[in-house]
Structures are given as C-alpha cells and as structure tokens.
Chain A
C-alpha cells in the first residue's frame, strides 16, 4: 500500500477507527516501557550534577513536557491546515483531541519548571523568554480548546479553532522572538538551565524519556480521536454498530 492510498484511506473515519486500536495498544506498551527505562536511568543510574546535586533530575519530566508542548501545537497547526484545505474530517478530530493534551503538557512544563526554578534560581518565576512564551502558549491552547467547544455546531467550532491554531502557529515564533528581544534589552540572561553540554550518562535517559513521551502522546491522541470520531459521527451506521454491544 503506497503512502498516498494510505492517506486517502485515513480520510475514512471507520477505517481509522478500526486500525487505531492495535496501534494505540502498541504505543501504550512502548511508552510504558520507555518511560520506566528512562525514569530508572534518570533517577537511579545518572550521576548527581556537580552543581545542582539531585535537583536536576526533574529535567527528565520537564524537558520532554516542554518539548511536547511545542510539538503538539505543531501537530494541531498541521492538522488544521490539512483540514481546512482538504476538508478531512479526521484532521479536525485529531486537532480537537490534541489540544487538551498539549495544554496538559504545557501545564506540566510550567509547574515542573517553577519547582526546578525555586531551588536553583531562588525564585519560582522569572520573566525569562522561555517561561513567558511557554505561558503564552498555554493561553493559546486554552483559546483553541474554548473556541472549539463554544459552538452548538461542532463543524463551526472545528473550523474556527483551526483558523485560530494557524494564526497561533505563526504567532508563537514571533512571541518567542519578541520576548527574547525584550529580555536582552533589559539584562543579560542570568539563568541558563544547563550551560555545559550534557554528559552522555545523563543524556541517554533524557532521550529515552522524550521518545517515551512521544509514544505516550501518540497513544492518548489515538484514543481521544476515537472518542471524538464516535461523537462526531454518532448518526452514522458504522458508529452505531461500534457503540452497540
């Protein structure tokens, strides 16, 4: 099966509903194993940092979450584009399923970042470029979620949220750049998480955790998309058959 026919078949919600179940199961197991291995490597095997002691270990949750928060927004923007241009129903469902996950990753990144900041920088919050743009990203997620849920007609909400996500995707780099510019205007950045290159013994658990988070997101987004599809297509025959025991 070529990529093109696969893409065309994905346009059919029942087909996606059928194949997403084994894929989701596989992703769940892979993410569970990777996250356990990554946690073991990060919390036990990796040596304490010479400056931060054991405090740096929160990095193994913080960095993957922050990374996923940007990645998920990119997924939403790409899905929104596909949905608006080719009117693919599945794309809307994936975007709608992703938004709360992305918001959760952003919230985790912000909270763990604050907890990490208190012992290391002496404060929970600084108006640093990354922190500020992450916070604005969180507000953008909330906007996309709220807009999607605000309309009586789900199709209208999907399209409105898609337009907002595309504008937001253009806006996120601009926000990051502007905050960076504003910060350097005031004072040199006195805070850098890890100035030196990360040692291999600390790096591999981080990479394993990041891959694990990717699969975790993949699992959840498949599961949530399945429910979104059932909700959206509840008047169709295939959905009726799936719901009936």
Chain B
C-alpha cells in the first residue's frame, strides 16, 4: 500500500477512535441551524432568503470548532516533532493530515446539509450546487484554519487567537460560497461564483500546506 494512503487511513482510524470529534461539529452544525427558525420568523420567505448565509456561516463555525485540537494531540505526544525531523515531505504529511481532518469533521456536514435545506426552506433545486460549493469551501476553510492552528500550536487557550487569524482570511470563501447558493436558489447561473470558489480551492491547497509546514517548523526551531 502507498505509504501516504496508509498514513491517511491511520489518521482516519485515530479520529474514528475518538468519535466525539466527529460528532461534535455535526451536532453543533445542526443545533445552530435549528436556532435560526426559532429566533427569526419561521414563515418560509425570510428564512429561505437567509438560508445560504446561515448554512455557510454555520459551516465555517463548525470547522472552526475542531481547529484547536487539530495538531494539539500530535504536538503533545511528540509525533509532530518526528514529522518535522523526518526526511519525508512535511508538506505532503500536512496535506494528508488536513484531508483526514476534513473527512472526519466536514464530510458529515455535507451529508447532513439536505436536512438543513429542509429546515430552512431553501429551494431543493439549489441543493446540488450548495453541496458542491460546501465541498470546495469546507476544504479551503480546513486548510486556512489549519494554518491558524499551526501558528498558535504552542499557546494555551489558542482558540480565541485562531478566531482572529482565521475569520478575516476566510471571508472571500464565505462570499463566493454563499452567493453560489443564492444564485442557484434564484435559478440563475451559479458558475461564476463556483469557479471563483474553485480557484481559491486550488490556490489554497497548493500554497497553504507550505505555510502550515513553515508554521509547524517554527515551534521546533530554537
């Protein structure tokens, strides 16, 4: 078996052992979405118009929730140090680590998004585009968030700091993502927004692992 695939599978296995980490973002994502109809007027019209924004902000917060623990365990157990000094590419390792993080925390969000679409009376014809957008967007958000987590690795109580670092940088993804859903709901062509989202996706996946690796190396340099 390809060693990188093996690494990816091992990471997935470790996360699966701690099922709390899988369940927590999912439950959070659902509960936040469920609060909006209760606090706003639940009569369809307003809710349907706000649905793309609610779902996207909600998804971003759910991704953010897991970030603090992303590298923490590996750092405390000294595994991360082994990655840094190992001759194999740290960038690739980071890529697969974040990919596994996405699979564990964000893929369930995608799978549960049809339920939110029903709750928020978002038109069903926009569901496909919403899910494609959420796929591109959550992967990008995971990488940007991982950068925040890597920069604050050695700090205690880092989640507040991650929020300051991560949220401003994430705004373009939210803008393009939510608007692809808005366009789809209005039966307009959502491709401009999706293409821009895809551009950010490839840009992030290409560049940010390098920045994450540099950030992780800082913690072990003296």
Contact = CB atoms under 8 A, between A and B. Distances in A.
B35 interface: no
Given A139-B164, A163-B211, A181-B196, A147 B175 contact: no
> Would you call the interface of chain A mostly helix, strand, loop, or mixed?
helix
Interface string B159-172: 00100110111011
A163 B164 CA distance: 15
A123 interface: no
Interface stretch (B38-46, B91-99, B117-125, B149-157): B149-157
A185 interface: yes
A147 B149 CA distance: 12
A19 interface: no
Given A151-B154, A167-B147, A178-B172, A159 B218 contact: yes
Given A146-B161, A150-B161, A156-B218, A168 B169 contact: yes
Residue of A146, A167, A177 with highest tally of chain B CB at under 10 A: A167
A156 B196 contact: no
Contacts of B172: 171, 174-175, 177-178
Contacts of A177: 172
B84 interface: no
A239 to B, nearest CB: 21
B215 interface: yes
A136 interface: yes
Interface of B: 147, 151-152, 154-155, 161, 164-165, 167-169, 171-172, 175-176, 179, 196, 200, 207-208, 211, 214-215, 218-219, 221
Given A168-B168, A175-B168, 14 more contacts: A139-B168, A143-B161, A143-B164, A147-B161, A147-B165, A150-B155, A151-B155, A156-B218, A160-B152, A163-B151, A163-B215, A166-B211, A167-B211, A171-B168
Interface of A: 84, 136, 139-140, 142-143, 146-147, 150-151, 156, 159-160, 163-164, 166-168, 170-171, 174-175, 177-179, 181-182, 185
